[in-house]
Chains A and B, each alone.
Chain A
Amino acid sequence: MQDLDVDGLVARLAGEVGARARAEGAESALAIVGIRRGGVHLAGRLRSRLKELLGREPPLGTLDIALYRDDLDEKGATPVVGPTDVRFSVDGKTILLVDDVLYTGRTVRAALDELVDFGRPRRVWLLVLVERDGRELPIAADFVGRRLTVAPQDDVQVRLREAGMPADAVVVTRRSP
Chain B
Amino acid sequence: MIGRHKHCLGLADYSREEILEVLDLAVSMKEVLRRPIKKVPSLRGKSVVNLFFEASTRTRSSFEVAAKILSADALNWTASASSVTKGETLIDTVKNLEAMRPDLIVIRHQAGGAPALVAQRVGCSVISAGDGAHEHPSQGLLDVFTLREKLGGLEGRTVAIVGDITHSRVARSDLYGLARLGARTRVCGPPTMIPPGIEALGTTVHHDLREAVAGVDAVIMLRIQHERIGDPLIPGTREYSRFWGLNARKAAEWLTPACLIMHPGPINRGVELEPDVADGPRSVILDQVENGVAVRMALLFLLAGGHEAAIEAKS
Contacts and interface: CB of A to CB of B under 8 A. Distances in A.
Interface of A: 64, 66-69, 72-78, 81-85, 113-114, 117-119
B131 to A, nearest CB: 25
Chain A, interface SS category: loop
Interface of B: 1, 25, 27-29, 31-32, 35-37, 39-42, 70, 301-302, 305-308, 310
Residue from the set B1, B39, B302 with the largest chain A CB neighbour count within 10 Å = B1
A69 B43 CA distance: 10
A36 to B, nearest CB: 11
Contact of B306 (A72, A82, A118): A72
Closest 3 CB pairs of A and B: A78-B306, A67-B40, A78-B1
6 contacts: A67-B70, A68-B42, A75-B307, A77-B1, A78-B306, A82-B28
Contacts of A77: 1, 306-307, 310
B36 A118 contact: yes
Contacts of A68: 40-42
Given A67-B32, A118-B36, A119-B36, 17 more contacts: A64-B28, A67-B42, A67-B70, A72-B307, A73-B308, A75-B307, A76-B307, A77-B1, A77-B307, A78-B1, A78-B301, A81-B301, A85-B31, A113-B41, A114-B40, A117-B37, A117-B39
B42 A83 contact: no
Contacts of B37: 117-119
A76 B250 CA distance: 53
Nearest to A114: B40
Nearest to A82: B28
Contacts of B25: 81
B243 to A, nearest CB: 45
A118 B35 contact: yes
A84 to B, nearest CB: 6
Contacts of A82: 28
Contacts of B29: 81
B4 to A, nearest CB: 12
A73 B43 CA distance: 10
Contact of B42 (A69, A76, A84, A85): A69
B28 A81 contact: yes
Residue from the set B32, B35, B305, B308 with the largest chain A CB neighbour count within 10 Å = B305
B305 A83 contact: no
Contacts of B310: 76-77
A27 to B, nearest CB: 26
A177 to B, nearest CB: 21
B42 A72 contact: yes
Contacts of A67: 28, 32, 40-42, 70, 301
